Amino acid sequence: MASMFMTISRCHVKAGSEQDARALLEKEMLPNDGKKPGDVIEGLVGFGLMKSKKDPSMYGIATVWESEAAFDKMAANPRAKDGGGIVEKLQKLCDGDVKGEGFYIESL
């Protein structure tokens, strides 16, 4: 059985842009029609939006995938290279880069 796969991205949101960043992420990632994330993006189990306890400008985005293969399939889509535009839009609200890394989930 393939291990579940997780990505974690971090970014510093510019002062005054926090509400816009949160609204963008929720609009782009949170189905508001009763669908689950996997109904919208194949293989996506879920995602989370996090705010740092120590640094209120630091946000984290975690995505959980059925497998690394499911993530790779999504990433192979030409529109996914820029997150369907979400990464570019988020970058404009941030200081510095939006940095991400993948992890194998060995246990929960």
- Per the structure, the complete domain to which residue 68 belongs is given by 5-97
- Three-class DSSP category at 50: strand
- Whole-angstrom Cα distance, residue 103 to residue 16? 31
Per the structure, how many domains does the chain have? 1
Lowest-pLDDT range of 4-8, 34-38, 95-99:
34-38
Residue 106 lies in a domain: no
Residue 108 lies in a domain: no
Highest-confidence segment of 19-23, 86-90, 104-108: 19-23
- Whole-angstrom Cα distance, residue 83 to residue 87? 5
The token duo for 29 is 């990632």
* pTM of the predicted structure, to 2 decimals: 0.76
Residue 103 lies in a domain: no
Q: What is the pLDDT of residues 56-80, one digit of tens each?
A: 889 898 989 999 999 888 888 776 6
Residue 105 lies in a domain: no
Residue 9 lies in a domain: yes
pLDDT mean over 38-60: 87
pLDDT of residue 31: 65
Residue 65 lies in a domain: yes
User: What is the domain-level CATH number for residue 34?
Assistant: 3.30.70.100
Residue 13 lies in a domain: yes
Residue 104 lies in a domain: no
The answer to whether 86 and 30 have CB atoms below 8 angstroms apart is no
